[in-house]
Amino acid sequence: MEYFADLHVHIGEAKKQPVKITASRKLTLGNICDYCINKKGIDIVGIVDCASPYVLQEISDYIKMGELIPLSGGGLRYKDDLTIILGAEIETTEINGAAHSIAFFPHYGQMKDFSELISNYITNITLSSQKARLAARDLLKIVRNLDGELVPAHVFTPFKSFYGNCYDRLSTAFEDELRYITTVELGLSADTEFADTIRELSTKTFLSNSDAHSLEKIAREYNKINLQFPDFHNLLSALQRRDDNFVMYNYGLRPELGKYHRTFCPDCGYIATEEPPVKCCPHCKNYAVTLGVLDRITLIADLKYPIHPHHRPLYQYQIPLEFIPGIGQKTIDILIQAFGTEMNVIHKTNRAQLTEVVGEQKANNIVLAREGKLGLKVGGGGFYGKVFYKNV
Q: Which residues bind Zn ion (CB under 5 A)?
A: 89, 100, 153, 211
Concatenate the DSSP letters of all residues of 79-121 into one string. Answer: TTTEEEEEEEEEEEE-SSSEEEEEEEESSHHHHHHHHHHHTTT
For residues 6 and 209, the answer to whether their CB atoms sit within 8 Å is: yes
Q: Which residue is at the shortest CB distance from Zn ion?
A: 100
Note the helical H segments in 328-370. 329-339, 342-347, 351-358, 360-370
Q: How many whole angstroms separate alpha carbon 59 and alpha carbon 104?
A: 15
Q: Which is nearer to Zn ion, 6 or 211 (CB)?
A: 211
Q: How many whole angstroms separate alpha carbon 333 and alpha carbon 268?
A: 38
Distance in Å, CB of 162 to Zn ion, minimum: 11
Q: Which is nearer to Zn ion, 10 or 261 (CB)?
A: 10
Q: How many whole angstroms separate alpha carbon 255 and alpha carbon 189?
A: 4
Q: Which is nearer to Zn ion, 8 or 254 (CB)?
A: 8
Q: Which of 231, 228, 232 is nearest to 2 (CA)?
A: 228
Number of Cβ atoms within 10 Å of the Cβ of 20: 21
Bridge partners (DSSP) of residue 247 are 225
For residues 194 and 184, the answer to whether their CB atoms sit within 8 Å is: no
For residues 290 and 262, the answer to whether their CB atoms sit within 8 Å is: no
Distance in Å, CB of 115 to Zn ion, minimum: 17
In degrees, rounded to 5, the angle at the alpha carbon of residue 306 between the alpha carbons of residues 303 and 310 is 120
Distance in Å, CB of 130 to Zn ion, minimum: 11
Q: Which of 350, 357, 284, 342 is nearest to 38 (CA)?
A: 342
Distance in Å, CB of 212 to Zn ion, minimum: 8
Q: Which is nearer to Zn ion, 43 or 89 (CB)?
A: 89
CA 160 to chain centre: 14
Distance in Å, CB of 256 to Zn ion, minimum: 21
Contacts of 359 (CB under 8 A, 6+ apart): none
Q: Which is nearer to Zn ion, 191 or 211 (CB)?
A: 211
Pairing of strands 222-226, 246-252: antiparallel
Distance in Å, CB of 129 to Zn ion, minimum: 5
Q: Which is nearer to Zn ion, 258 or 276 (CB)?
A: 258
Q: Which is nearer to Zn ion, 100 or 362 (CB)?
A: 100
Q: Which is nearer to Zn ion, 87 or 313 (CB)?
A: 87
Distance in Å, CB of 222 to Zn ion, minimum: 15
Q: How many whole angstroms separate alpha carbon 97 and alpha carbon 11?
A: 25
Q: Which is nearer to Zn ion, 73 or 187 (CB)?
A: 187
Distance in Å, CB of 209 to Zn ion, minimum: 9
Distance in Å, CB of 345 to Zn ion, minimum: 26
Q: How many whole angstroms separate alpha carbon 356 and alpha carbon 169?
A: 51
Distance in Å, CB of 161 to Zn ion, minimum: 8
Distance in Å, CB of 259 to Zn ion, minimum: 13
Q: Which is nearer to Zn ion, 88 or 142 (CB)?
A: 88
Provide the 3-class DSSP secondary structure of residue 263: coil
Concatenate the DSSP letters of all residues of 270-318 into one string. Answer: -B--SSSP--S-TTT--S--B--HHHHHHHH-SSSS----TTPPEEEE-
Q: Which is nearer to Zn ion, 101 or 237 (CB)?
A: 101
